[in-house]
Amino acid sequence: AQKVTQAQTEISVVEKEDVTLDCVYETRDTTYYLFWYKQPPSGELVFLIRRNSFDEQNEISGRYSWNFQKSTSSFNFTITASQVVDSAVYFCALSAYSGGYQKVTFGIGTKLQVIP
Amino acid sequence: NAGVMQNPRHLVRRRGQEARLRCSPMKGHSHVYWYRQLPEEGLKFMVYLQKENIIDESGMPKERFSAEFPKEGPSILRIQQVVRGDSAAYFCASSPPPAGEKTQYFGPGTRLLVL
């Protein structure tokens, strides 16, 4: 069984602060993929990143960075110098090959509020 | 290349009515997935379909819910005799073959409100 835990349900930061969103996952599969999605107030899901289980290199994209630690089953997401436009719900997700396709399990999301 | 399309974006139904949600996958994608997001919750898998086949419906409620993905046309998620608890956002995602493709691309969702 797969499980994704996002322990922080809500976070508030002041603009320009850095913020880290935590994600811990459980799976018995050796090959799996991890994702982060952003859901702004408008409601759509915006894909941010996909990482496979064999690639533990950290990734940076502009103000966003991701830290994948297989040893602790964590895939944390950091926003540097946060902006009001970063206010959204962020979902961590895990997919593994099961029954012939990639089955995706989502965490419950972390609501980030960036205060101007 | 248009993304995944869902319509309607918002749907209001009275208790007991039927709701039909449509999803047009991205061009070239033959795999469709439906997820439900209840208020203040994450997305929960409902059903996975390929053209004309239901592959996995383990997340779908046993009664009142059905899904199809015909040879031609969009995938349809149908909810009969809606109840207030069906109020949620319903997201569709698609992926290309083969079945092991890793990334599912999501549509904008349909927000269903049952009065």
A interface test, pick of B48, B56, B104, B106 with most A CB neighbours within 10 Å:
B104
Rounded mean pLDDT of chain B? 91
Residue B83 has pLDDT above 90, yes or no: yes
Partner B contacted by A109 (CB < 8 A): yes
In tens, the pLDDT along B30-50 reads 899 999 998 878 899 999 999
| Parts of chain A with a pLDDT under 70 | 99-100
Q: What angle do CA A54, A7, B45 make, to 5 degrees?
A: 65
Interchain pair A101, B56: CB under 8 A: yes
The structure tokens 């926003």 sit at A79
**One-letter-per-residue 3-state SS of B5-63:** EEECCEEEECCCCCEEEEEECCCCCCEEEEEEECCCCCEEEEEEEECCEEEECCCCCCC
Peptide bond into B98 cis (omega under 30): yes
Interchain pair B106, A106: CB under 8 A: no
Closest partner CB to A43 (pick from B95, B100, B111)? B111
What is the bridge-based pairing of β-strands B10-13 and B110-114? parallel
Interchain pair A107, B42: CB under 8 A: yes
The structure tokens 């997820």 sit at B35
Residue type, B106: F
Residues of B with Cβ-Cβ distance to A35 under 8 angstroms: 103
* Of the candidates A36, A20, A21, the residue with the CA atom closest to the CA atom of residue A95: A36
pLDDT category of residue B1 using cuts at 50, 70 and 90: low
Interchain pair A104, B33: CB under 8 A: yes
Closest partner CB to B100 (pick from A52, A102, A107)? A102
Closest partner CB to B42 (pick from A100, A103, A108)? A108
Q: What is the pLDDT of residue A100?
A: 67
Residue B101 has pLDDT above 60, yes or no: no
pLDDT category of residue B99 using cuts at 50, 70 and 90: low
Q: What is the pLDDT of residue A101?
A: 73
Residue B100 has pLDDT above 60, yes or no: no
Q: What is the pLDDT of residue A59?
A: 84
Cα of B104 to nearest chain A Cα, Å: 9
Cα B15 to Cα B26: distance, rounded to the nearest angstrom? 32
Overall average pLDDT of the B15-33 stretch: 94
Interchain pair B44, A106: CB under 8 A: yes
Per 3-state DSSP, chain A is made up of helix, strand and coil in percentages (nearest 5) of 5, 60, 35
